[in-house]
Amino acid sequence: MIGFILGTSEGRKILSLINKYTEDIAVSTATSYGGELLKEFKIKDLNTKPLNKEEMLNWIKSNKIKVLVDASHPYAKEVTKTALECANELEIQYVRYERLGALENITGEDIIRVKNYDEVIDNIKKIEGNILNTTGGNNVSKFVDIDFNYRIIHRILPSPKVLTKIVDAGIKIKDIIALQGPISYELEKAFIAQYDVKAILTKDSGIEGGVIEKLKAVRDNNIKLIVIEKPKFQYDLVFNTEESLIKFLVHEYKL
């Protein structure tokens, strides 16, 4: 059995390719919505909730998984850490599929690179104007009650669960944009104008995540792009295209 941890839009393509060779797969996603998107594929076991280490170990063992493909989001640090630990503990093959960043080789005074949210807050305080946060709803509590004279607008998924979470954390309704991405260049420009934004906070989630559109809109409006850099792990096997990943699996496991 091959186990897949999926957390990006490429998950559907990965499954469509592997299903040409085998149905003997188990898939784990973090949400029921993620599971709904995969219903057309042939999957022996589908988990649709986050797994802690003990739960992931049990999931791997109960499905007799021999190779674990971690295709979680490039910023899902805890998921990857747990997957690596589980694969190592159970002595099974770990394979990483990682979407390439879009900004890794792009430089400029308008790009501010930071390692974590503490550095984000430090840099935000130096900016004279409103901030558009496009990094999701998991860390919005870090922006509540900070010493900042301007607005921070949070663009999140239009999910009732996420909306409730960030409102409960103390974010004002007027500072929330609920919209499914990726966002076009024209719409990014419109948000900058509408909210008088002086900096956009983003993760380098690759071309698929609309980062290039953000960069173009930022540069055309002469504002800043604050980029949280990807967490770094050491992998023995890592693939950056769906085709190369599947080619390896087919060859290595004689599918």
- Give the confidence band of 216 by pLDDT, cuts at 50, 70, 90: very high
In degrees, rounded to 5, the angle at the alpha carbon of residue 82 between the alpha carbons of residues 120 and 249 is: 110
- Give the confidence band of 49 by pLDDT, cuts at 50, 70, 90: very high
Contact status, residue 201 vs residue 131, Cβ threshold 8 Å: yes
Q: What is the pTM of this model?
A: 0.86
- Give the confidence band of 209 by pLDDT, cuts at 50, 70, 90: confident
Q: Output the pLDDT for position 34.
A: 85
Average pLDDT of the chain? 94
Question: What would be the CATH architecture of the domain defined by 2-100+232-252?
Answer: 3-Layer(aba) Sandwich (3.40)
CATH of 111-228, one of 3.40.50.620, 3.30.70.360, 3.40.50.150, 1.20.140.10: 3.40.50.620
Q: Output the pLDDT for position 138.
A: 87
- Give the confidence band of 71 by pLDDT, cuts at 50, 70, 90: very high
Which residues of the chain form CATH 3.40.50.720?
A: 2-100+232-252
Mean pLDDT (whole number) for 86-107 = 94
Contact status, residue 195 vs residue 153, Cβ threshold 8 Å: yes
